[in-house]
Amino acid sequence: MKILMIEDNNSVSAMMAMFFKKEQWEATFAYDGEEGVDKFNESNGDYDIILLDLNLPKKDGMQVAADIRRESPTIPIIMLTARDSESDQVLGLEMGADDYVTKPFSPITLIARIKALHRRIQLSQISDDTETENSEYDVQTDHFKLNSKTREAYINDQLIEDLTPKEFDLLKTMAMKPKQVFTREQLLQLVRNYEFYGDERTVDAHIKKLRQKIEKAGPKVIQTVWGVGYKFDDSDAGE
């Protein structure tokens, strides 16, 4: 695995370097936001996962995440934050992070979270290849179609652009069972592939970003079921 860790604390970086070496992972380190973006761009995005500190000199983690997402909408990002506040965590997710870890963290815990995220993406890709072997689209209706192999989704033949891995998986999960209501807890557990302990607003943040991208291409197809969760319904998308 190739990792880019953008972290201004030398001690944290040195500690994680030892754990990455033990896992036989290739790690690159950047110590401020500008250096992190430069190293990402120099590599042409050739990393499996980005570890991104929220509090960085020269350019903060939120801006770095936005810069990286403009170049690569799909690369997984785990945000590292010393701020144990719900608003910062939700904002990080809205800016494109796939997960977050609060400092101080156990290196073993961070390694486990990296493995879990990487494993979920690999399994999703294997599943996507199998599911689309004999069919171009996993989901296809009069107004919507989704191809797991290409990781593309269309509404009224318009591409829904810049979907992150988590946004695509959320959309796929709901679109494969149209009109079924999913609770926030179900969506978090299905997409993250491990038990989540935290506030329900994290899934709201992902849904908000997903809706914005869908509605740039076409009508609103993810509906809120108040007091319960969300559902996918494109039956009125052609109107």
Whether pTM > 0.75 for this model: the answer is no
pLDDT, one tens digit for every residue, the chain (239 residues): 899 999 999 999 999 999 999 999 999 999 999 999 999 988 877 888 999 998 899 998 888 888 888 888 778 888 888 765 566 666 666 666 778 888 888 899 899 888 888 877 766 655 555 554 545 788 888 889 998 888 899 998 899 998 888 888 889 988 888 888 888 877 876 655 534 444 567 788 888 889 999 988 888 899 998 888 899 998 887 65
- The pLDDT value recorded for residue 132 is 45
| Burial of residue 230, with CB atoms counted within 10 A of its CB: 0-12 exposed, 13-18 middle, 19 or more buried | buried
- The pLDDT value recorded for residue 196 is 44
Q: Is residue 76 within 8 Å of 117, Cβ to Cβ?
A: yes
Say how far residue 222 (Cα) sits from the centre of its chain.
18
Q: Is residue 112 within 8 Å of 101, Cβ to Cβ?
A: no
